[in-house]
Amino acid sequence: MKPKFQSHTFAPVFDANSVILILGTFPSVQSRENGFYYGHPQNRFWKVLAEILKTELPETIDEKKQMLLANRIAVWDVIKSCEILNSADSSIKNVVPNDFTRILSDTQIKTIYANGKTAERLYNKFVKENTGREIVFLPSTSPANASFGMERLLKEWSVIGKDLKK
């Protein structure tokens, strides 16, 4: 199979109070179909955040947005468009990065986190020079990251809870 050109079709989640930005690479097939972030049922993103934030697991898109905004968290992806085979980050080619000017100027973002190595690498390659801001690596919540169990993810991602308390 050959990678297909895809464009990101949904907006970032943020408001003026956002202090943390979590970046993925590009939406998975299921996320693109659902029209929202981390839509694969085995992706542990929402479970990890709910646990760290000590809140109920959000089910709907509105509940997910509410949880993020209530906790001053912004979510987006590094890539605006690219060639990708299904949901495989390893197949990504011909990257067009998102423009971070608005999200960084309209918020109070202090820390940018990468959800996985590919998000970190692509941010550093395509975005960092424009933003002048570092990104902090966190292990991917993707089901493809089977080497990280839930307990290990929670330990690594707990830095977000600490960051929000500052």
Structure tokens at 115: 């959800």
- Give the model confidence (pLDDT) of 35-91 as tens digits: 999 998 889 999 999 999 999 999 999 999 999 999 999 999 999 999 888 877 777
The model's pTM is 0.94
- Give the model confidence (pLDDT) of 135-152 as tens digits: 999 999 987 787 888 999
Q: List, in order of start, the domains of the chain with CATH numbers.
A: 4-165 (3.40.470.10)
What average pLDDT does the segment 9-17 reach?
Answer: 96
d(CA 105, CA 36): 23
Q: In what order do the strands lie in the sheet with 88-97?
A: 4-7, 79-85, 88-97
Residue whose tokens read 């990678």 = 3
What is the maximal distance between C-alpha atoms in the chain? Answer: 47
Structure tokens at 130: 């424009």
Cβ–Cβ < 8 Å for 43, 144: no
Using DSSP bridges, classify how beta strands 4-7 and 79-85 pair: parallel, antiparallel or unpaired: antiparallel
